[in-house]
Amino acid sequence: MLDPKWLRSEPETIATLLKKKKFELDVELLKDLENARKRLQHDTEALQNERNTRSKEIGKAKAAGRDVSEILTAVEGMKRQLEHKKEELFEIQEKLKTYSLGVPNVPATEVPDGMDESDNLQISTWGRPRDFIWEVKDHVALGESLRQGLDFASAVKLTGSRFVVMRGQIARLHRALAQFMLDTHTDEHGYTEVNVPYIVNQDSLYGTGQLPKFEEDQFQIQDKDRAYYLIPTAEVPVTNLVRNEIIEPEYLPLRFASHTPCFRSEAGSYGKDTRGMIRQHQFEKVELVQIVEPTTSADALEELTQHAEKILQKLDLPYRKVLLCGGDLGFSAVKTYDLEVWLPSQHAYREISSCSLFNDFQARRMQARWRNPASGKPELVHTINGSGLAVGRTLVAVLENHQDERGNIRVPDCLRPYMNGLEEIG
């Protein structure tokens, strides 16, 4: 959520800024609602003040043993009037809130203009795609050719499309990847490992911005009296750890790394990436989350992105870093770097990590604050998160990039300790 004070004082400025994100801010509606709100709130509070004063008078008069019937009749009429005003005010406030919750965060100034991913700005590349002198196999061919490997058919039987069963050394490689990522971030990058619920309530999803706008992307648990959801990313439970908290400055920055499954309905992506495990309803991810003081957040995004890059480098996977353009930027984000890994079978870079800065947008929704020593007051923190990395897609990248002519897979050095020293899968 944007700062309501800012939204009400400079709606035109914000409207201009949001054009970069292809969002049309309804300035007129906002102004009308705001005017009504101001008037109603003033009236309501004045009325409440008067009622409070009168009620206290009654108390005093009774204590003094005086007759109160006269004041009583005077105050009685106010009750109905107050109720009416309150209702009106509540209605307007709900409208304002509903609208505000649907307004995206404003992009950073350095975010490039553009409509979609084709307008994203390449920042850097790392590594060089191998020159394959034979016809490369994609991860599906590689995984299915193994006696114990990727098994999509079984997953369809068990559940449906967009799921996978992994067996044998592939399952182990997948586990190794997650372990390796988690160990690197905790041992080398200073993150604290957290293990969190994979099911969250609505408040948590409102806090990080998935609700109310992206309800259809979530898996909701069927339960007659509980509105629970499967997490679409660890960002939700991990970031919400600080919801409704006031954090003392000595605890900042908070750095969390969490390995969880992620569940996404993928509504609206029919026919997209239907082959293989690029786009699944369930996948695993190691997520990095930082809760920081506002002045340090821009640097923290750079650092966090480098932490994610480190994983790709250790795995010897060629990738590039892009800065998302306004049109491709997510609802809550101010700025996002995507890391895209090279997939030889597609002869293209594909997203494997997304690292975003939210400034106080999520913090405001969550009421996540820190005590600023300069003011002594609670102020909103800034939040940052990024994949470090998506485990399923990393598996795909390892299989495809480290294959040999016979369809065997070289195990990257950094994973061997997790694989009992195994050098090759095949």
* C-alpha to C-alpha distance for 296 and 253, rounded to whole angstroms: 9
Q: What share of the chain is helix, strand, coil (3-state, %, to 5)?
A: 45, 20, 35
Complex with RNA: residue 139 or 369, whichever CB lies closer: 369
Is 298 a binder of RNA (CB under 7 A)? Answer: no
Is 227 a binder of RNA (CB under 7 A)? Answer: no
Is 221 a binder of RNA (CB under 7 A)? Answer: no
83, containing H or E segment:
helix 69-101
| Binding mask of the shown chain, residues 302 to 331, with x at each position contacting RNA by CB under 7 A | ------------------------------
Q: Looking at 39, 56, 66, 157, which residue binds RNA (CB under 7 A)? A: 56
**Which residue shows structure tokens 């035109």?**
12
Start-to-end CA span in the chain (Å):
51
Q: Report the site for RNA in 62-81 (rule: CB under 7 A).
A: 62-63, 72, 75-76, 78-79
Is 145 a binder of RNA (CB under 7 A)? Answer: no
409, containing H or E segment:
strand 409-410
| Binding mask of the shown chain, residues 2 to 21, with x at each position contacting RNA by CB under 7 A | --xx----------------
Is 294 a binder of RNA (CB under 7 A)? Answer: no
How far out from the chain centre does Cα 316 lie?
Answer: 28
How far out from the chain centre does Cα 116 lie?
Answer: 19
Complex with RNA: residue 81 or 122, whichever CB lies closer: 81
At 263, phi and psi to the nearest 5? -125, 125
* C-alpha to C-alpha distance for 411 and 51, rounded to whole angstroms: 75
Is 41 a binder of RNA (CB under 7 A)? Answer: yes
Which amino acids are annotated catalytic? 264, 279, 351, 354, 393
Complex with RNA: residue 1 or 142, whichever CB lies closer: 1
Least distance CB 372 / RNA (angstroms): 10
Identify which of 177, 173, 179 has the alpha carbon closest to the alpha carbon of residue 150: 173
Least distance CB 179 / RNA (angstroms): 22
- Coil vs helix vs strand at 285: strand
Is 116 a binder of RNA (CB under 7 A)? Answer: no
- Using the 8-state DSSP alphabet, how is residue 317 labeled? -
* C-alpha to C-alpha distance for 292 and 299, rounded to whole angstroms: 10
* Beta strand extents in 87-152 (DSSP E only): 121-126, 150-151
How far out from the chain centre does Cα 212 lie?
Answer: 13
- Using the 8-state DSSP alphabet, how is residue 148 labeled? S
Is 31 a binder of RNA (CB under 7 A)? Answer: no
Q: Looking at 127, 378, 407, 426, which residue binds RNA (CB under 7 A)? A: 378
Asked whether 321 and 351 are in contact (CB, 8 A), the reply is no
CB-facing half-sphere around the CA of 159: CA atoms within 13 A: 11
379, containing H or E segment:
strand 378-380
Is 199 a binder of RNA (CB under 7 A)? Answer: no
Q: Looking at 15, 36, 43, 51, which residue binds RNA (CB under 7 A)? A: 51
Least distance CB 48 / RNA (angstroms): 4
Least distance CB 68 / RNA (angstroms): 7
Asked whether 374 and 366 are in contact (CB, 8 A), the reply is no
Q: Looking at 31, 39, 42, 275, which residue binds RNA (CB under 7 A)? A: 42
Least distance CB 254 / RNA (angstroms): 18
Is 94 a binder of RNA (CB under 7 A)? Answer: no
Is 35 a binder of RNA (CB under 7 A)? Answer: no
Q: Looking at 31, 39, 60, 157, which residue binds RNA (CB under 7 A)? A: 60
Complex with RNA: residue 79 or 275, whichever CB lies closer: 79
Which residues make up the interface to RNA (CB under 7 A)? Answer: 4-5, 38, 41-42, 45-46, 48-49, 51-56, 58-60, 62-63, 72, 75-76, 78-79, 225, 246, 367, 369, 377-378
